[in-house]
């Protein structure tokens, strides 16, 4: 049987990894897919520049539309990123009845509902395993491996740059800005690191994970997103003293009122496996009613880890080329007419516990005022640490852990605390999750 011909859009890091993995593992892939898979066409901005991977026997062009519209191409792999040109090319491929594989999380998170609707109308597949957590097969695990479960919640460290920064701050007592500069030198962070450190990249991925976990439409705009730029090495140290670690966590949970969908710095008990995921690695913890907690760990980026997921999607598409479209695995795990209409909760409606840090005047009665305000808002305290003022500073640091409370109540309480004459500056608030099996 003739190999399936694939058109590749983008010859960057992941594109090169995809070519390399397909060629190196060609025999194994034939055994798994039943047919060969060959990249025969590819588009890149500069087709003349030297590359570390072999592009022989591939028709190269600077025009990605030529690849999409070539009649020989049966599957289009989109690896150019962004959500404007990529959207146009993917929609054109679908319109021509071609299957699509993409590693583009922004594209799926923001336009996936439109893309999947078009794909169903044309009876083609859109595969996107590589869009979330690089080489970790988390999409397949939730969509297929956990199909017998009622997913209750999932939490993920799904941005390696942020995890590297927080790990270095904890292990070496370094400041955020210092570690960010190193991450940029090492190539872990872009020159403009906003997408990573402000949580936008993680929010794209969480949006996708939530949809396949709960069978809900993709709702990126409803995802609460908060970055790690305000985390200090003091916060990291105090969290350690209290038995916690700070991670930039994406968390989604099903409640009776709706779905929580949020990305923010989070204190996690240090004994949890996910709290010990360090450096640029990713991990996703999924709680199912039948299986309990399951943890998926691995490289969240990189040429061949991400290519591993791209090639796996290609194998899945090739396996399904002759199958009845009605019997394929749904894009978002649930049948399109059975998606949930529960709302996504606003952050003010979310219930969680908190870490609070404040600078207070070192005099009697201050702590009593703070605890009174918290009590007035129904907030109980789990632990308190008071640090002596540093030399030459009139203010002491007070750190508190609270029990779970509705976010609006905490916001109101913090506003009252900050209004006290004895409080200097803003109160630092970091949410806290135990991630236990209850």
Residue 100 class from Cβ within 10 Å (0-12 exposed, 13-18 middle, 19+ buried)?
buried
3-state secondary structure of 19: helix
Contact 377, 394 (CB under 8 A): no
Residue 311's contacts (CB-CB under 8 Å, 6 or more residues apart) are 18, 21, 22, 25, 29, 37
Q: In what order do the strands lie in the sheet with 99-102?
A: 59-61, 37-43, 4-9, 75-78, 99-102, 126-127
Which own/partner pairs from 338-344 qualify as long-range (CB within 8 Å, at least 24 positions apart)?
338/215, 339/215, 339/216, 339/217, 340/214, 340/215, 340/216, 340/259, 342/216, 342/254, 342/257, 342/258, 342/259, 343/257, 343/258, 343/259, 344/216, 344/219, 344/222, 344/223, 344/258, 344/259, 344/260, 344/261
Q: How far apart are CA 431 and CA 356, in angstroms?
A: 9
Q: How far apart are CA 17 and CA 6, in angstroms?
A: 15
End-to-end CA distance of the chain: 52
In the 8-state DSSP scheme, what is residue 145?
Answer: I
Does residue 257 have an active-site annotation? no
For the chain, the 3-state helix, strand and coil shares in percent, each to the nearest 5, are: 40, 25, 35
3-state secondary structure of 154: strand
Q: How far apart are CA 61 and CA 95, in angstroms?
A: 21
Q: Of the listed 98, 105, 110, 205, which one is catalytic?
A: 205
Q: How far apart are CA 331 and CA 293, in angstroms?
A: 24
Q: Quick one: which of 197, 163, 203 has its CA closest to 177?
A: 197
Token pair for residue 404? 């779970």
* C-beta neighbour count of 357 within 10 angstroms: 20
In the 8-state DSSP scheme, what is residue 83?
Answer: S
Q: Write out the H or E segment, with its range, that includes residue 292.
A: strand 292-299
Phi and psi at 302, nearest 5°, equal 110, 160
The residues carrying an active-site annotation are: 205
């Amino acid at each position: 049987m003739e190999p399936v011909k694939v058109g590749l859009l983008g010859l960057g890091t992941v594109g090169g990894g995809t070519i390399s993995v397909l060629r190196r593992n060609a025999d194994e892939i034939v055994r798994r897919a039943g047919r060969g898979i060959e990249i025969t066409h590819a588009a890149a901005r500069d087709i003349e520049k030297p590359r570390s991977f072999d592009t022989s026997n591939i028709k190269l062009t600077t025009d990605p539309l030529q690849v999409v519209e070539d009649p020989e191409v049966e599957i289009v792999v989109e690896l150019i990123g962004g959500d404007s040109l990529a959207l146009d090319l993917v929609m054109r491929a679908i319109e021509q009845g071609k299957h699509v594989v993409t590693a583009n999380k922004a594209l799926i998170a923001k336009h996936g509902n439109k893309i999947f609707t078009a794909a169903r109308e044309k009876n083609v597949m859109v595969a996107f395993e590589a869009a979330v957590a690089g080489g970790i097969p988390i999409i397949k695990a939730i969509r297929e491996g956990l199909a017998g479960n009622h997913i209750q919640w999932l939490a993920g460290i799904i941005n390696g740059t942020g995890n590297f920064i927080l790990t270095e701050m904890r292990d070496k007592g370094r400041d955020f800005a210092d570690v960010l500069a190193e991450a940029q030198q090492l190539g872990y962070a872009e020159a403009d690191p906003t997408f990573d450190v402000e949580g936008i990249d993680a929010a794209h991925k969480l949006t996708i994970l939530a949809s396949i976990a709960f069978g809900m439409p993709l709702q990126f705009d409803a995802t609460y997103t908060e970055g790690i730029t305000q985390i200090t090495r003091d916060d990291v140290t105090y969290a350690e003293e209290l038995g916690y670690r700070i991670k930039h966590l994406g968390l989604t949970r099903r409640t009776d009122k709706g779905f929580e969908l949020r990305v923010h710095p989070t204190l996690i008990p240090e004994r949890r496996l996910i709290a010990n995921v360090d450096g640029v690695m990713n991990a996703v913890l999924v709680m199912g009613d039948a299986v309990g907690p399951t943890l998926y760990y691995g490289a969240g980026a990189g040429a061949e880890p991400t290519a591993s997921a791209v090639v796996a999607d290609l194998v899945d598409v090739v396996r399904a080329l002759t199958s009845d479209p009605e019997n394929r695995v749904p894009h978002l795990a649930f049948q399109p007419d059975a998606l949930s209409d529960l709302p996504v909760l606003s952050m003010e409606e979310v219930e969680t516990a908190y870490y609070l840090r404040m600078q207070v005047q070192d005099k009697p009665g201050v702590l009593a005022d703070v605890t009174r305000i918290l009590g007035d808002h129904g907030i109980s305290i789990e632990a308190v640490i008071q640090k002596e003022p540093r030399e030459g500073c009139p203010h002491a640091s007070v750190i508190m852990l609270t029990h779970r409370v509705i976010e609006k109540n905490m916001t109101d309480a913090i506003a009252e605390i900050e209004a006290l004459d004895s409080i200097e500056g803003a109160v630092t608030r970091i949410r806290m999750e135990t991630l236990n099996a209850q």
